[in-house]
Amino acid sequence: MARILLVEDEADIRELIEDAFAERGLELRSAASDRAAYEILEAEAGGYELLITDINLGEGTTGFDVARRARQLNGSLRVIYITGHAAHMGRFGVDGGEMFPKPFRPAELAERAVQVLDIGARDLPPQDAPPN
């Protein structure tokens, strides 16, 4: 199963996304800050296939910075940026990264992750199955 790292500083949004991904049977690990994301990435450099990051992470660095560091550690990592300010993408995003504009339904983001990772239906548990 593909591993996904979510970086989102807003707890309510993070929890909604976590729930949607669990319902879809996707393995998601969350970081509430850039610092937490860096620690996870350093400890598990090649362990993720997809990074989903908010661009504005409050204090500290941005989601663009997190994505650049993640790509240094894992050149094949796919990246989805979530933000309300899509105009910034072309100037700061990593090559091949894509924008997922707010507002969105968390289930839509989970579906996009499935598409980006090219996960077929046979690779996912049934949607009514309890998460592992």
pLDDT digits (tens, 9 = 90+) for 7-35: 999 999 999 999 999 999 999 999 999 99
109 belongs to a structural domain: no
Separation CA 120–CA 30 (nearest Å)? 23
pLDDT for 122: 44
Q: Which two tokens stand for residue 36?
A: 């937490």
CATH number assigned to the domain comprising residue 39: 3.40.50.2300
112 in a structural domain = no
Q: Is residue 29 part of a domain?
A: yes
Smallest CA-to-CA distance from 88 within 65, 122, 115 is with 65
Residue 77, helix vs strand vs coil? coil
Q: How many CA atoms lie within 13 A of 71 on its CB side?
A: 16
> 118 in a domain, yes or no?
no
Q: Which residue range(s) make up the domain with 74?
A: 1-10+24-100
Split into its structural domains, the chain has a count of 1
Q: For residue 126, tell me if it sits in a domain.
A: no
96, part of any domain? yes
Give the CA dihedral 89, 90, 91, 96, nearest 10 degrees.
80
Between 121 and 23, name the one with better pLDDT.
Answer: 23
Mean pLDDT for the chain overall: 87
Residue type, 55: I
pLDDT single digits (tens) 43-77: 997 899 999 999 999 888 899 999 999 999 999 99
Kindly state whether residue 105 falls inside one of the protein's structural domains: no
